[in-house]
Structures are given as C-alpha cells and as structure tokens.
Amino acid sequence: MGLLVQRTGRLARGLLRNPTSPAQTLARRAVATPLHLPRSVPSSPRHVSSLANSQENATDRETITRLLYSLASRKEVERYLRIFSAANKFAVLKVGGAILTHQLDELALSLSFLHRVGLYPVVLHGAGPQLNEILEREGVEPDYIDGIRITDARTLRVARQVFLEENQRLVEKLESLGSRARPIPLGTFTASYLDKEKYGLVGKIEKVDKEPIESAIRAGCLPILTSLAETEDGQILNVNADVAASELSKVLEPLKIVYLNEKGGLFHGKTNELLETINLDEEYDELMKQEWVKFGTKLKLREMKELLDHLPRSSSVAIISVDQLQKELFTDSGAGTLIQRGYKLYKHDSIEKVGAERLRDALKTNDDEIREGRKSVAQFFSELSREPYTIYGDEPFDVVAFVSRPEGEVPILTKLVSTKNGVLNSVTDNVWNSIRKDHKRLIWTARADDENRAWHYERADGSFSRNGRSLFYYGIQDVSEVERVVRSLEEKARIERAYLPLHAAKPSKGPDAVRAFSTCARRPAARVATVEGKRGYATAVERSGPLPATTSEPKRVALIGARGYTGQALVSLLNQHPYLSLSHVSSRELAGQRLPGYDREEVRYSNIGVEDLKKLASGRGDGPPPDAYIMALPNGVCKPFVEAVQEGGKNQPGGHAKIVDLSADYRFEDGWTYGLPELYSRSAIRDARLISNPGCYATSIQALIAPLLPHLDASAPPTVFGISGYSGAGTKAAPSGSTESQTKGATVPKISPEDLQGGVRPYSLTDHIHEREAARHLGRLNQGSSSSSQQDLAFVPAVAPWFQGIISTLSAPLNASLSAKDVKQLYLDFYQGQGQLVDIGAKVPEVHDIALQHAVKIGGFQVHSGGKRVVVVAGLDNLLKGAATQCLQNLNITLGYDELAGIVAK
C-alpha cells in the first residue's frame, strides 16, 4: 500500500499499553549498566560533545541503546536518537505531582535512562496532590476557579515548602542512580499577578530565564524545575504547572513536549475511553462544549491550544504515563494521548475534485507500486474509476487514501500513501479515523513482509496470508462471512485470488502474526513485584517458575477431535510450533478431507475409532506412534479413547504416550495431573503421562482467588460473576438445508448472537461444573496437595453476543482490612516469576484487551470503603488461555520443551 513508517499506536494503544512495561524493565537494565562518567564537569557544550565522542562513552551509549531495540526497530531507535541528539533543546517533560508520590522510582529510572544516552530533558513538576493533602490536614479545603487554585498566604507558604521538598526528593533519587541533576525550584519564571482579587497569589508568567536551565545542561546535569514564579520585587507566586510548562515550551521550542500523569492520557469523561489523538483545528471548539470538559481538563486543553498556536504546526503534545516514556520518545507507535493542531482533511468522490496532477505527484513520489513501475498512475486511475470511490487526504497532500465502495459490497482500501511529514505529524491516523467513521466494514491488502505490518494488524479485526500477501479486515465478526466476502471479491476481481483463509477462526493480532492464533509476537513478560523477600504466602502445593527446556527434538502429536473452535485454535498453534508436528487428526464427518489451517505438510482427517487408536498407540498403525495425544472431544465420551491409548501403548518403552485431555472428564480424578502451570506444580506436569486441561472459567476463577486465599473471610465465600463470548458454548452440526450444511462437516455455534438478541443470557446459575472444579483445586492449593477439602465459592456465568473472551469479576469478603494497593501487591507477589501468561495491571480488563491474546489479564483492584471486601477483575480468551494455549503449555512442559514454544515469540 506504499505506507511509510507510521505513528502506529494512536488507534490501538489500549492494546499496546499493558501493566508490564518493557520500557521500565529496559530502564532498570540501563541504570544497572556501568557508565563511565567524566572525571570533571564539562565547561561547554563543545566539551560535552567531545566527551560523548570518546570511545568509552560511545561504547556505553551503544550498550544502552541496544536495550531500546526491544521496544522498536533499530531503524526507529537510531532515527530518534539522531534527531534528539542534534536538537538544541530535546524535550520539556511536565510531571504531575501524583507521580512524585506514587511513581518516583519509575520516573527516576526513565530520566536516568535518557541521561545515560546523552539526552537532557527539561523537567518541570507539580505537587498538587501533596499540597491538597497537607492543606486538608490543616483544615483548609482547596478551592478552584476555572481549574486555577485560589492561593492565599497560608496556601502559598505550604506550597513553597512542598515544592522544595518534592524537587529535592527527585534530585536525590536521580543522583542515587548515578545521574547528575540540578534543582532549580526558583529563578526561571518571572510573573505578575494573574488577578489578585480573584485568584490571590497566583502568577501570570511574563518572562522565562533560560540561563539556569542551559547552565545545568552545560554542566551535564538534568534541570529539575518547579512551577513557582517570582514578581520583579521578589514576591513568590503560584503558577499552574501545566501553564508553566506551556510558557517554558514557547521559549525553548523543544522537539518534544510530554506531560506525564498517572492515567497515561486524557480520557472521555462519559465513556472513559482514551482520547488517543486530539486534532485541535477540527475538535477543539466541540470538545470545549462538552459538559465533562471542566476544571483542570478545560484549563489543560486551553493552555495546550495556546501553546501549539505559538509553535510550528509540526509540534505536538503527548500526555502519557511514566512507563510509556521510552515508547513515546523512541518508537513510531507512541503512547497515550497525542494533541496537535492537526490538518484540515478532505474527502471527495472524484479525481477531478481533488486535482489529478496533485494526486499524480503524490502517487509517483510516495507509492511503491507506481514508483517501481509495476503500475502506472493512469492505469490505477482507470481501475479506480470502474466503481464508486472516495478519496481521503489532507490539504498539504501529506496523506492520500483511496477507498473503492460499490453499493451493497464491502469497501476496499486500495491505496494509502504518506509523506514523511504525514507520518511524523500523525496525519495518517487522522485520515484513517475519517475512513473508519464512514465505513463500518473494510478490507485491505499488503505485502506479508511489509515493514509496517504492525500498523495493519493493530487496525484489523482479523487477517490471513497467502503467497506473500496479507489481507486485513475489520467490522466482519463472523468468519464464515469473511470467507463469503473474500470469495465474492475474488470472483469479481476486486482483489487478487489466493486469499481464502486457512480456517474459520479469527486470527491473532500482532506485528508478526500471519495466521489465526499464531505466535503472540513481542509479548512482554508479566509484571512482577520488585520488593525483595516478599511473597503473598507459600502454598502447600509446590510451585515454581517455568522449567528449563530439556529438549528440542522434533516430536509428533495426534489430535483426537478437531472440529470445534478449540480444535481449530490448536491446529493454528501447532502450525507455528518449532518442534511439534501433527501426525493424525481425527474427525468422523470430515474423514478424507485435507486439514485446513495446517500447511507444514499435508494432513488429512481420518476416522480414528477406539480400536484404530489402540493399534496406532501400539505402533501397529499408520506410521510410528505419536509422542502425545490431545483429546479434544466433548464431555463424557473421552474415556474409551484414553483407555485405548493406555492399552495400546503399555508395551512401548516408557509406557504409553502423553495425553492431554481438554474435556471435563478427568479434572476431578486423583490419578490425573491438573495442568494449570501458574498455580500448581510444573514438575508434576513434566513427569505426568495423564494431564487434565482446566476449564476456561475455572482458570479465570482460580487465577482471581488464589492470591487472596490467606485473606478470605472463612464465614463468607467469595463470588465470581463470569461473562463469556458465545464461542464458549461450543459448536453443533449445521441444520439440514442451511447454507452451512452444504459443506460436509460444517458446524455452527450452539448459541449465536441472533439467539441472544443483543443481550446476555445467565445460565447454570448454581452448581456449574467450573465452580466445583475451581473449588476442588483451590482447596488443594490452600490446604495441601493431598487435602480433599474444598474452597467455598460461588460462581454465576452468563453468555454474551461477542465471539470470544471471558470477563470474570470477583467479589471477596476479607478477614482483615486491606487497601487496594495492598491487594494489587498480593497479586504481584503471588505471580512473581510465574511466566509471561499472567498480566497484572491497574485497569479493568475489557474484551478487546483479551480476545485473541494468550495471557490472562488481572486488574481493576478496588476495596469497599469498609476495607473488608475486595473486587478484582480478570479477563482471558476462552479459546486460548482458557483452552488451546493452556493445552500447548502443558504439552510443552510434559514433552520437555520451553513452556511457551509456539505460543509467545522469543
């Protein structure tokens, strides 16, 4: 599509942002890296430059720079480092007061990281929450007008003390990490009274003195400023920190203006959705009319508009969290909320209205297909004009997009081209937003090896690849509909042939994903606690972190029952596995047909009965016996197949092959090992020959309750309310005469969105099998592996009209008061070192956070005002961590592979 490197994350940052911050891990590693500091303080920028070019410092910088490559490509990192290093003023960072209270360590790590790569951001911090806390203790209620704090002499006295203390705390923390910092609490801002009668001792900045800042940088120090100002005659005045940062930026004109806050961006006051991009030229007036835009938010928007009106149009402001600072600075995807003046956009339904020559120039300059001569502009115009279309773009022609939209058919984005300015100024995202507003469904294609494939995957609901090309789509939820749409488009030559999907399942999103449920590329490790010597408690059941791999020998696995959604997901995972291959796939109805979704070699369905399975396991069947069997059969029918493998393989060296059962048949059997690696013994799984895969809801329930077991009120059991997508109900054969039934062996959901009529349906309101399953195993976790006691709990499930993903909400009475912070720490401690498939964060997981993801996400920690009832939310994909991913985890462990082989890219 000729797409240049994009600011990729503006539409999908909620997916990219996660509580496990690779940036923070990276910063910690950087600070731990020895850095050869100069023996004397440089006396000039030239001296700083010459020292930076010394071989020792260059080596150190290269070592630390390499750490950034885990966040982005080498090309991105080096480009930004080159740009920032050459800038006179690199960045102004405004730090919210709450960050100094709750995230001082993280902030200092991030700033120290920048200092070690030779960058000197100008840091200006607030102290609002600290000031409010002290004033409230003294009986003074904070008062605001238009977001500005009313400041009397008493308030100013406290403010001055708080600012000086917070400033010094940050400086001392930075210096403890080996980074030189200089406190500049006063002397930078000269101000007059904003309105003495109305606001009291609040200043309006009249002048900014750059010299203290430049002196600090010349000395190799990070300048740390407060927002206190002084009048010409020496009266200290309070200035809103956002306002001070704005005035400072007008004078310094830095490359980056970054506001750090705890929330990680600006959020819509009603929907609570992240405002990923705000284009002031188009949205400011409407935003300021919104009833939820008031107080500090209104002041922030007003100040940022005034700031950007004074700066080049290419300037922008980012509002992010501390743990996203490296991501915002050194990657094209960025983070948080981006505020910019924006560009006026257009959309027209004819080439003539846009201007043929301008379009021709844009395509010749920026489109690979035309620039390389594979297609002429005239040819493209001719093909475009065969059906209705819309051209989207911006007035400077930095971005142009073409959408073909025949009536009654799914629109196709045929081209999207951008200049470098369009990329850097996020015009591409603005145009994309305009396209999405107009089209609820869309299809587009790109090369499978497109260096910007992350941009495509983040904006797609699904994708699949064939012959070096990838097709992406959004707004089409039913995969069978995707197949019908693609087939229709191929027949009408609207897209190239060879795009039919591998199988009917939604694909995994990710920059390296090419098939449904493929490896989850660049997944970060689960966030873990860093407090030494602390754990929530030691369970009587042995737990350990991931075991080391003991083999990379290729092995074979047979899948008994592969027709359902979980079977399809397993096929896709095994298709990507580095060591395992599918030898046999069983399905009576599909016998003889080639297995879709598996292209490592040709595998056909076979009708494997009990006697056939016994023969296969004994080595008397078709080829050598498999090393493992996955039983993906309905509940209640698995036993004879398991017994056939046991009987047939009893004379094999070492006994019968490993078996992982996905049904509920053996989850209550003592002779079987229960395979939930993060909670129970991985060693037991490795040594087991019979492994029972947990249920999806049971996994979610246990992940929620386990860290709280010692703190639960024994007299009041916890309750979990779970709501699952309709894929959790499984599949059934298509009814006779239906469109689906025309394909042999086709299946349809047992429960469909049409059945639910847009609502949710509670079911199995008492004694759900997953309630009993979770109660049994949590009892063992709490009391010991040999205990038969159960953990009392209540579980109420419901099914919803989305396809996949479970959200479970725990309400648990406690035996003693805890704070939300304490509860979160319990989870961090409990899951420390338990691998990459548990994410602990602050936010409440939502369906879009967990659908098509391998990990269980836990967050939303809240405690009732009485302190003795906690609410925590977990989300997981019922087809992945609730089934297929967990099955492959267990299979990897028991066969001696790396636990995440074929699941998470290394």
Q: What are phi and psi of 160, to 5 degrees?
A: -60, -45
Cα dist from 182 to 42, 87, 208, whole Å: 15, 21, 18
- What is the distance between the alpha carbons of residues 142 and 128, in angstroms, rounded to a whole number? 10
CA-angle at 377, arms to 373 and 388, nearest 5°: 135
Of 121, 739, 117, 659, which is closest to residue 478 (Cα–Cα)? 739
Question: CB–CB of 402/387 below 8 Å?
Answer: no
Got the DSSP string for 530-565?
Answer: --TT--S---SS---SPPPP-----EEEEEE---SH
Q: What are phi and psi of 634, to 5 degrees?
A: -60, 160
- What is the distance between the alpha carbons of residues 737 and 741, in angstroms, rounded to a whole number? 6
Catalytic member of 520, 638, 696, 887: 696
393: which strand partners? 346, 400
Is-catalytic flag, 638?
A: no
Q: Two tokens at 586?
A: 């069983």
- What is the distance between the alpha carbons of residues 413 and 425, in angstroms, rounded to a whole number? 22
Which parts of 546-618 are beta strand (E)? Answer: 555-560, 580-586, 605-606
Question: CB–CB of 121/35 below 8 Å?
Answer: no
Q: Two tokens at 858?
A: 């836990």
**Residue in the structure block whose two tokens are 């699952």:** 724
Question: CB–CB of 891/900 below 8 Å?
Answer: no
Q: What size, in residues, is the chain?
A: 906
**Residue in the structure block whose two tokens are 């596995």:** 577
Classify the phi-psi angles of 2: left when phi > 0, otherwise alpha if psi is within -120 to 50, otherwise beta.
Answer: left
Q: How many Cα atoms are found within 13 Å in the side-chain-facing hemisphere of 109?
A: 23
**Residue in the structure block whose two tokens are 């080639």:** 594
CA-angle at 363, arms to 358 and 364, nearest 5°: 100
- What is the distance between the alpha carbons of residues 196 and 511, in angstroms, rounded to a whole number? 55
Which parts of 743-855 are beta strand (E)? Answer: 747-749, 761-762, 794-800, 806-813, 838-840
Query: 411-438: string of b/e by CB count within 10 Å (b at 16+)?
Result: bbbbbbbbbebbbbbbbbbbbbbbbeee
602 burial class (0-12, 13-18, 19+ CB within 10 angstroms)?
exposed
- What is the distance between the alpha carbons of residues 579 and 554, in angstroms, rounded to a whole number? 5
Of 709, 505, 630, which is closest to residue 892 (Cα–Cα)? 630
Question: CB–CB of 507/900 below 8 Å?
Answer: no
Of 566, 563, 553, which is closest to residue 585 (Cα–Cα)? 563
Classify the phi-psi angles of 227: left when phi > 0, otherwise alpha if psi is within -120 to 50, otherwise beta.
Answer: alpha
Q: Active-site residue numbers?
A: 696
